[in-house]
Structure 1
Amino acid sequence: MLTSTDRRAAFRKLHVSGCFIIPNPHDAGSARALQHLGFKALASTSAGFAWTIAKADNRVTLEEVCAHLAALCEAVDLPVNADFEGGFAHEPAKVGANVSRAVKTGVAGLSIEDSTGDAAKPLYDRTLAIERIKAARAAIDADNSGVLLTGRCEGFLVGQPDLAMVIDRLQAYSEAGADCLYAPGIKTRDQIATVVKAVHPKPVNLLIGASGLSLAEAADLGIRRISVGGSLSRAAWGGFMRAAKEMAEQGTFTELGNGYPGGELNKMFN
């Protein structure tokens, strides 16, 4: 197994040039499967993990997330980026303390969002949001861990699709110490290209769900990293729920025939 130092160095190298997919497993098994398929790095998904423990997204605890991150890092020999939501705290100092805990799980990177979870005021004030990124940066640097910090602006996901505002925040997060920038929800080529240009030379993460650009098309726009959020988890739940509903509502079992072969799964995990 590679050391945390090795994985963190490899993760940073992936951001230097080209474009790579960083898929989002929801547990140790799905992480191992993605490693088996040849992906070079993985990222956790807050929603996907929450559903595995019968919780809604953004309802898990810091302790649950840190245990989950440690399990992912132990399951694979790849860099793991943590979806660390909003740092599980409001105040910068507490965000920093929580980031320090996350670093100890062995992750190679983590992201901090600027969403509050409050529908009446969905984004933190700009100044506070910047201070939260600075606190995360300081916590990462305290022991020279080399963990890569991603700064996220959630404007497009919380009903504030103001590209100028999003770019202003991403630039501020970059200056505050974010190594990678992320604006989940941007979709058009113009939006993506504008964000990439605005934060250059810092790398940009692009979220792609059920539809969107291909890897090659995203690379042409200057994207360095593509994640899929909870999409793989939703796909897995889709198969599960279709089969379960068929049994419950019709008393038939045809959907079970679409499952992945058990023998192949045993080979992969052997």
Structure 2
Amino acid sequence: MKLFTGLSAFSITPTDASGRVDTAALARLLERISAARADSIGLLGSTGGYAFLSRHERQRAVESAMACVGGKIPVIVGVGALRTDEAQAHARDARKAGANGLLLAPMSYTPLTDEEVFQHILAVAEAGELPLCIYNNPSTTRFTFTDDLIVRLASAPNIVAVKMPLPTHGNVKAEITRLRRRTPDGFAIGYSGDWGAADALLAGCDAWYSVIAGLLPSEAVALTRAAQAGDAREVERLDQAFQPLWSLFKEFGSFRVMYAIADALGLCRAAPPRPILPLPPTDMPRVKDALDRILI
């Protein structure tokens, strides 16, 4: 299976209050993903809080991950940074540690133009010398990739995939068809936004970049495999079980909810990085109820 296809499970990155990565806890989470036979691990994505970590801690996280699961499952590393030279350094660090691929969102403080994003991604792809996935994540970056920009980048060396948000207008199948018509053969089109994963998978996307698979990998694998088999009825059944959790993701943001899930399942005790606050204790019963509906 190609790198940017199937189920990519995005783990949280447990840290202490000072931002030091708990590599033992991270290893436990990654081993669960590998054991569930997900298709890849997404390390230091948005769920992994890459923007809150220093370069040194990112290096420790990647080195720990590769020591734990390297060779067992492909690892895709997020390398986004405000400055292009910093993102290039993260890309080189990931390659040196043995990562299999890269994920890059155009972080910014000042709004970026299409040309600035094009040059930024091109430079990081060249520095990383690994297959790179464009991360179109306007909810956090406030930058939305146009079809034209994706098409332009898709022809550049090392850029082989795009991670898309769920469409706000139109349907996902039409978007996939439109992008495939304009991008090179083999360019992988995947989606994030867990509550729309069932529709995107049944519509024929190449990958589900999954938040929840970072902590519930077996359940996310089951949904993915049912969709890949074209079993719409089973996909609907599984997706219905996830609905209370999708509601929590929409209400509180998946980043906060994932830390609550990790705590509820006893997988690790870590708080999200400040200024992000954990879910209030009064909402934990809803998390536990949602988990009871899902767990295999």
TM-score by length of structure 1 reads 0.66
Pairing of 1:172-211 with structure 2 (within 5 A): 172-177=152-157, 178-186=159-167, 188-189=171-172, 190-201=174-185, 202-209=187-194, 211=195
Identify the residue that residue 103 of structure 2 maps to in structure 1: 111
Q: What residue in structure 1 maps to residue 209 of structure 2?
A: 227
Name the residue aligned to 2:8.
22
2:161 partner letter:
C
1:71 matched to 2:57: no
Q: Give the SS at the match of 1:227.
A: strand
Shift, 1:98, TM fit: 3.0
The question of whether the paired residues in 2 share the 8 Å contact of 1:45 and 1:229 is answered with: no
Equivalent position amino acid for 2:41 in 1: L
SS at match of 2:102: strand
* Residues 166, 196 of structure 2: 8 Å contact kept: no
CA RMSD for the aligned pairs? Answer: 3.5
2:36 alignment counterpart: 37
Mark the runs of 5 or more structure 1 residues left unpaired by the alignment: 1-12, 51-56, 142-146, 250-254, 260-270
Take 1:185 and 1:219, find their aligned partners in 2: how far apart are those partners?
A: 12
Instruction: Indicate the structure (1 or 2) with the bigger Cα radius of gyration.
Output: 1
Pairing 1:128–2:128 present = no
CA contact (8 A) 1:154 1:184 kept: yes
Q: Structure 1 counterpart of 2:125, which letter?
A: R
Task: Note the alpha carbon deviations across 1:179-227, whole angstroms, 9 max, x for none.
Answer: 1112234363233443344434211121132x1232xx53453311111
**CA spacing shift, 1:44–1:94, aligned 2, 3 Å:** closer
Rounded Cα–Cα distance in structure 1 between residues aligned with 2:128 and 2:103: 12
- Classify 1:158/1:112 alpha carbon distance in 2 versus 1 (closer, same or farther; 3 Å): closer
Which runs of 5 or more structure 2 residues have no equivalent in the other structure? Answer: 13-25, 216-256, 270-277, 283-287
Structure 1 residues 230 and 38: alpha-carbon distance in aligned structure 2, compared to 1, 3 A threshold: closer
Aligned letter for 2:119?
E
Matches within 5 A, 1:153-172: 153-155=136-138, 157-158=140-141, 166-172=146-152
Matched, 1:100 2:92: yes
Secondary structure of 1:179's match? strand
The answer as to whether partners of 2:45 and 2:78 remain within 8 angstroms in 1 is: yes
> Is contact 1:152-1:170 (8 Å) kept?
no
Identical aligned pairs, as a percentage? Answer: 11
Structure 2 equivalent of residue 81 of structure 1: 76
Alignment pair present for 1:152 and 2:152: no
Deviation, structure 1 residue 231: 7.0
Conservation of the 8 A alpha-carbon contact between 2:104 and 2:133:
yes
**Cα distance in 2, alignment partners of residues 212 and 37 from structure 1:** 22
Structure 1 stretches of 4+ with a deviation exceeding 4 A read 156-161, 230-233, 241-245
| Closer/same/farther in 2, CA of residues 126 and 47 from structure 1, 3 Å limit | closer
Deviation per residue, 1:55-111 (Å, 9 max, x gap): xx6221122112111111211121100122x2x2423x4433331122112110111
Q: TM-score, normalised by structure 2?
A: 0.60
CA shift at 1:33, angstroms?
0.6
CA contact (8 A) 1:111 1:149 kept: yes
Secondary structure, counterpart of 2:58 in structure 1: helix
Tell me, in whole angstroms, the C-alpha distance in 2 between the residues paired with 1:235 and 1:154.
18
